Structure 1
Amino acid sequence: MAAEKDLQIADGGAKKKKMIIIAAAVVVLGAGAGGYFAFSGGDAPEAAPATADAAAAEGEAAPAKAASGELGTALYVSMPRPFVFNVPGASRDRLVQIKVQILVRGTNNEEIAKQHIPLMESTMLRTFSKANADDLVTAAGKDTLKAAALKDVQEALIGVAGSPIVEEILFTGFVMQ
């Protein structure tokens, strides 16, 4: 009789463990499915840019936009990797890392910018390498560097694409050691 009670207690413990494991698996799968649906959905394109592109293709809305002074949709194109380069300083040379995004207007300019990323990277690296570490310590020096890079990139893109395409260069990360 005592042996039967021990068997029942042992059997009940195994069932509890099995139920706990099943419940944990259901919770993990539910959380995974919820995360998937929360982060993968909702990527449908907006209706306004699609209609603006369709109207621009017909040639009607483009002159109206230019006449009213309205700008296209602001889109940001990230450079695929940060720029890492050495700059000379008064006391010692410094290593600089800059993460860059560029501001363009309209999906057409975004596609052109993505197509010419190697040209923009080369142009920006050449401009950044001309900098001085003593100037880059100040905010004014960083702004001057951004302005010079923007001017050089726009000139390079005019030569290749026929228009400046890039409206602004943004530093999203700046580290100097």
Structure 2
Amino acid sequence: MAEEENEAEGGGGGKKKLIILIVIGMLLVGLSVGGTIFALQMLADPEPVAEGEEGEAEEAAAPKLPAVYFPLKPAIIVNFNARGRQRYLQAEVTLKIRDPEVVAAVELHMSMIRNALVMLFSGQVYDELQTPEGRELMRQQALEEIQRIVESEIGKPGVEQVLFTNFVMQ
């Protein structure tokens, strides 16, 4: 009979240990989740906006205007003299613009923009343009040149990107 009592007490003690371990495990999980939520809230709190900065915060919160893709028609064609042979480049260029005022300025100053692009493209080295890096460099230079022209005319760069929609070299 003494052995039966010891078995009953031993079985009950094992269940108590299991329950205590489960409770401790649930407390640890709860503390972990609570700590994570607290830390995320602390990191996500926006800094208070000073009175003078309210206009800037509203401008930043304003949605972007939809993009307008403005193609420069006709395609720009330039020739190169590479290794004693006549080579040609035909590039169809499209501008990504968001401001209608900039679209009007580009239309008005189209001749100046096309001239700058022809001069830029014809001054390139033919062999360098055959690499993706060379084309990307020329695209960046074209963007800078167009932004410079538009900024000198209306006071802001306005052109977001220059895109080559067709690029043929012969």
TM category (shorter chain) comes to 0.5 to 0.7
- Aligned counterparts of 1:69 and 1:168: Cα–Cα separation in 2: 21
Structure 1, unmatched stretches of 5+, are 1-61
| Structure 1 match to 2:77 | 84
* Larger relative strand fraction: 2
Which aligned pairs between 1:60-79 and structure 2 lie closer than 5 A? 66-68=59-61, 70-79=63-72
Aligned residue-pair number:
116
Query: Are 1:103 and 2:90 an aligned pair?
Result: no
- Aligned counterparts of 1:88 and 1:134: Cα–Cα separation in 2: 11
1:166 to 159, 162, 166: 159
Q: Do 2:94 and 2:163's aligned partners in 1 also have CA atoms closer than 8 Å?
A: yes
Q: Classify the secondary structure of the residue corresponding to 2:82.
A: coil
- Aligned counterparts of 1:90 and 1:156: Cα–Cα separation in 2: 33
Runs of 4+ off more than 3 Å: 62-65, 90-93
Q: Do 2:99 and 2:158's aligned partners in 1 also have CA atoms closer than 8 Å?
A: no
Q: Classify the secondary structure of the residue corresponding to 2:74.
A: coil
* Deviation sequence 1:90-136 (CA, Å, 0-9, x none): 46341111011111013222222222211211111111111111011
Q: Classify the secondary structure of the residue corresponding to 1:72.
A: coil
Letter of the structure 2 residue corresponding to residue 84 of structure 1: I
Q: CA RMSD in A?
A: 2.0
Larger radius of gyration: 2
Structure 2, unmatched stretches of 5+, are 1-54
TM-score by length of 1: 0.59
